[in-house]
A and B are shown apart, each in its own frame.
Chain A
Amino acid sequence: DAEITQSPRHKITETGRQVTLACHQTWNHNNMFWYRQDLGHGLRLIHYSYGVHDTNKGEVSDGYSVSRSNTEDLPLTLESAASSQTSVYFCASGPDDYGYTFGSGTRLTVV
């Protein structure tokens, strides 16, 4: 069955370190998205991609980057982790008849 997976599920890192969160989908979707979820803010769009080699900034892109070298993967990199980036991160892909499919999330803590 097709799926979208995120790894790791939990990550603790230190301020200033570079961190990469993985997102892998086997739906063959062109569109992929990264969101962060914080209490009181819902899901805010970080970066998104409409296809290979296409990347776009979302509303909260500062301090984050993505690259899309193939259809399946959209890794999210925190260049220099900050405490303000402690959050739950969700990856999504779509659309299809099921709308957009979300991964299970990565809980990132920056200490």
Chain B
Amino acid sequence: AQSVTQLGSHVSVSEGALVLLRCNYSSSVPPYLFWYVQYPNQGLQLLLKYTSAATLVKGINGFEAEFKKSETSFHLTKPSAHMSDAAEYFCAVTRSGNTGKLIFGQGTTLQVKP
């Protein structure tokens, strides 16, 4: 079975500061991992995904995440926050391959202060 824990339901950073959103996963099989972003009153948009290739994954809008098997983590980072990054971010896990439930964490709301 898979599960995801996102540490911190709310994260606040200043514009230009580093963004770090934490995600730890549990999986009994090799996982695929995802980060999604949701802007207010919209659906979910894929930021990036890990599917057992490179452990450092680059996504859209300057975000990246590193898969660390030893720490069972997949933290999302961005060197410099922009006001437009304010949104809710979800980490999700599924098992590798083409079948598996996609399980989400509880989400982290990112606030960016001017």
Residues 50 to 109 of chain B near chain A (Cβ within 8 Å)? 90, 92, 94, 98-99, 101-107
Q: Are B99 and A42 in contact (CB under 8 A)?
A: no
The proximity string for A residues 66-105 relative to B, scoring 1 for CB distances below 8 Å and 0 otherwise, is: 0000000000000000000000001010110011111111
Q: Are B43 and A100 in contact (CB under 8 A)?
A: no
Q: Is the contact region of chain A dominated by helix, strand, or loop, or is it mixed?
A: strand
Chain B nearest Cβ from A23, distance in angstroms: 12
How far apart sit A90 and B106, CA to CA, in the bound complex (Å)? 15
Number of interface residues of A (CB under 8 A): 25
Set of chain B residues within 8 Å of A42, measured between Cβ atoms = 6, 90, 104-107
Set of chain B residues within 8 Å of A43, measured between Cβ atoms = 44, 90, 104, 107
Most chain B beta-carbon contacts within 10 A, residue among A42, A48, A50, A92: A42
Q: Are A99 and B101 in contact (CB under 8 A)?
A: no
Number of inter-chain CB pairs below 8 Å: 51
Set of chain A residues within 8 Å of B46, measured between Cβ atoms = 98-101
Chain A nearest Cβ from B48, distance in angstroms: 9
Q: Are B99 and A45 in contact (CB under 8 A)?
A: no
Set of chain B residues within 8 Å of A45, measured between Cβ atoms = 101-103
Chain A nearest Cβ from B104, distance in angstroms: 4
Set of chain A residues within 8 Å of B99, measured between Cβ atoms = 31, 50
Q: Are B43 and A102 in contact (CB under 8 A)?
A: yes
Q: Are A99 and B43 in contact (CB under 8 A)?
A: no
Q: Are B49 and A99 in contact (CB under 8 A)?
A: yes
Interface, chain A (partner B; CB < 8 A): 30-31, 33, 35, 40-45, 48, 50, 58, 90, 92, 94-95, 98-105
